[in-house]
Amino acid sequence: EVIPTEPLPDYPLILLTPPAHRFLNTTYGNVQALVEAEGGEPRLLIHPKDAEERGIAEGMLVYIRSPQGRVVRKAKVTEAPIPGTVVLEGTWWEKWAPDGKGINHLTAETLTDLGGGSTFHSTPVEVEPLRLA
């Protein structure tokens, strides 16, 4: 199976999943002081250009969709990622997410063809506002 690592028509953004700064993998992810220092919950970092194109504002709940699944997070509109790239730190515990889902719902389980490494640092995604009925 080939896992895409480039943007796709239905998934035009690339998701990067670095670790949170104050956690060691998922260790310390339940220490309240560190969770609060990280902002209290995982947030999606999205460039202002990409946010504007999608009608996304700071703090808005958004769906992040990939070929593997979807999760809900609050948006943090920032120039930190380059346009076309979004960032969601991958070491948060699921209980801190608005929908209770971890980042693994977005990433593929398949290993790379070169070296058998993970493919979770270049997942094609789309982001859209969560519309409440």
Distances in whole angstroms, Cα of residue 105 to Cα of each of 32, 55, 72, 125, 131: 24, 24, 11, 12, 20
- Is 87 part of any domain? yes
Residue range 28-43, pLDDT digits in tens: 888 899 989 989 899 9
- Is 7 part of any domain? no
- Is 6 part of any domain? no
User: Given this model, what pLDDT does residue 56 score?
Assistant: 98
pLDDT band at 131 (very low <50, low <70, confident <90, very high): confident
Maximum mean pLDDT: which of 3-12, 36-45, 48-57 = 48-57
Query: What is the domain-level CATH number for residue 117?
Result: 2.40.40.20
Q: Which domain holds residue 82?
A: 13-129
- Is 5 part of any domain? no
User: Given this model, what pLDDT does residue 118 score?
Assistant: 72
Total domain count, the chain: 1
User: Given this model, what pLDDT does residue 86 score?
Assistant: 97
Distance CA 26, CA 104 (A): 13
- Is 68 part of any domain? yes
- Is 1 part of any domain? no
- Is 123 part of any domain? yes
Kindly report the pTM of this predicted structure.
0.88
- Is 3 part of any domain? no
Distance CA 76, CA 28 (A): 23
**Phi-psi category of 13—alpha, beta or left, where left has phi over 0 and alpha has psi -120 to 50?**
beta
